[in-house]
Structure 1
Amino acid sequence: MSFPIYIEIYKDLKQKIFQGDWNPGDMLWSENELAQKHQTTRLTVRKSLAMLENEGFIYSVPGKGYYIVQPDHSKYTLLFNELNNGEKNTSYSKLLGVDAITPDPEVKQKLHITGEKKVVVILRLVYSNEEPIAYDVKYLPYDRGKPIVEKEIQYATFPDMVAKKSSPFAIKKELSIFTEPSKPKINKMLRLKESEPLLVVEQSLYDQEDQPIGWGKTYYKGDYMKIKAYSYFVGVR
């Protein structure tokens, strides 16, 4: 199968980068050199270089040329779903309650709540093989004009809950992962011993203006939860 010449040049240069023919910071061949090498025009070469630049493999310095980027391997992609995350199969979640409450200081601070404004708290218990493995608590700003339908949130992820009230494309997410001792209420829910450590995943959701639109925690049994993240190439100057 033949490809357009600019695709062939792009593929050839990308292969050379992966082979280590150039090191980070090295200057790439000039447009003229690439055009002569592949017997084509500089305009065609620029299309190939633009593809590599858009993918983060190279960057340009006006008046000088193109350079190989320094890969950043400190970034990972973490896949997280509070209702189905870990080594075991999650069979279902149980909705414990949905209420409008007066938030405590921590919730007020997380959601930027002022005055006497209420929030919606959603409580769920997550099961695997009929055993409770996670206690889930989520808070949303209370909006009298947009009620929450319980049957729609029992099996919904946190972004899905918020998407009922705003566009799913506008949601920004932040995760924090840490451990803490369990509390009496959680002990009872998850059938744990006193102060048995829990893995906690804290989620914060924001709109396009970086205003908080949701916050919550999921408390996992330590022998259930397993966090996995994947490293992939991200180019930076």
Structure 2
Amino acid sequence: MGSEIIKPTIDLVYHLRVAPNARVVYVRWVLLYEEKPIAYDIQYIPYFPGITVWNDNFEYTSFSEILSQKNKLFQMQGRMNVTAMNCDREVAEILKIPDETPVMQITQKILDDNEPMGFRQLFIKCEWCCVRGTSYQE
């Protein structure tokens, strides 16, 4: 869908720990299957000179690939939250579903030495989402 440089909202100031007058790279993708939208991916990255948010052939670039351009020397850590929720009007329009339809929301923060490097929201139609896990007990 595109990218642009924006001023952060109060939520982004909190999640990214940036100043209210800072700049944030805002990247949006719609993921398709057989020409139909199945997921909407929104990525927010504090603006740093030298970060390339577009690649030459405009293919989907993962969140960690974009962030690794800035930080090649350190190990990045991710924190993720998975929630089922009713989508708002913007997400519903993009996914071509009725307002308030349940979707899976994956919220992800990428950190380096506990400092936020990026924040992501991924909305997936429920029929395209499955959560699996393994539990180990001692």
Calculate the TM-score normalised by the size of structure 2: 0.90
* Bigger-Rg structure (1/2): 1
What SS is found at the alignment partner of 2:134? strand
Residue 120 of structure 1 corresponds to which residue in structure 2? 25
* Alignment match of 1:189 (pick from 94, 112, 117): 94
User: Within 2, Cα distance between the matches of 1:98 and 1:158?
Assistant: 13
CA pair 116-134 structure 1, distance change in 2 beyond 3 A: same
Q: Secondary structure at the residue paired with 1:177?
A: strand
- 2:122 aligned partner: 218
The answer (yes or no) to whether the contact 2:42–2:120 under 8 Å persists in 1 is yes
Amino acid at match of 1:172: Q
Q: Say whether residues 1:150 and 2:54 are aligned partners.
A: yes
Instruction: For 1:226 and 1:172, locate their aligned partners in 2 and report how far apart those are by CA, in whole Å.
Output: 23
SS of the counterpart of 2:94? Answer: helix
Change (3 A) 1:151 1:166: same
1:167 to 65, 72, 82: 72
Match of 2:2 in 1: 97
In the other structure, the counterpart of 1:177 is 82
In the superposition, relative to structure 1, how do residues 133 and 172 fare at CA in structure 2: closer, same or farther (>3 Å)?
same
> Is 1:202 paired with 2:107?
yes
Q: 1:220 is matched by which residue type in structure 2?
A: I
Q: CA RMSD in A?
A: 1.9
Matches within 5 A, 1:59-98: 96-98=1-3
Structure 2: state its 5+ residue gaps: none
Letter in 1 for 2:93: K
Q: Deviation of residue 159 (structure 1)?
A: 1.2
Change beyond 3 A, Cα 1:114–1:182? same
Superposition misfits of 4+ residues, deviation over 4 angstroms: none
**Aligned-partner SS, 2:127:** coil
Render the CA deviation track for 1:21-64: whole Å, top value 9, x for unaligned. Answer: xxxxxxxxxxxxxxxxxxxxxxxxxxxxxxxxxxxxxxxxxxxx
Instruction: Give CA deviations for 1:91-144 in whole Å, capped at 9, x if unaligned.
Output: xxxxx111110011111100001140010010000112221000110000011x
Match of 1:135?
40
- 1:152-183 CA deviation, whole Å, 9 max, x = no partner? 67322211111111127510011100022111
Q: Give the equivalent residue in structure 2 for 1:34.
A: none
The amino acid that maps onto 2:8 is P
Letter aligned with residue 88 of structure 2 = K
**Helix, strand or coil: the match of 2:98?**
coil
Cα distance in structure 2, aligned partners of 1:191 and 1:147: 32
Judge conservation of contact 2:40–2:91 (CA < 8 Å) in 1.
yes
1:231 is displaced (CA, Å) by: 3.7
Once residues 148 and 225 of structure 1 are traced to their aligned partners in structure 2, the CA distance between those partners, rounded to angstroms, is: 30
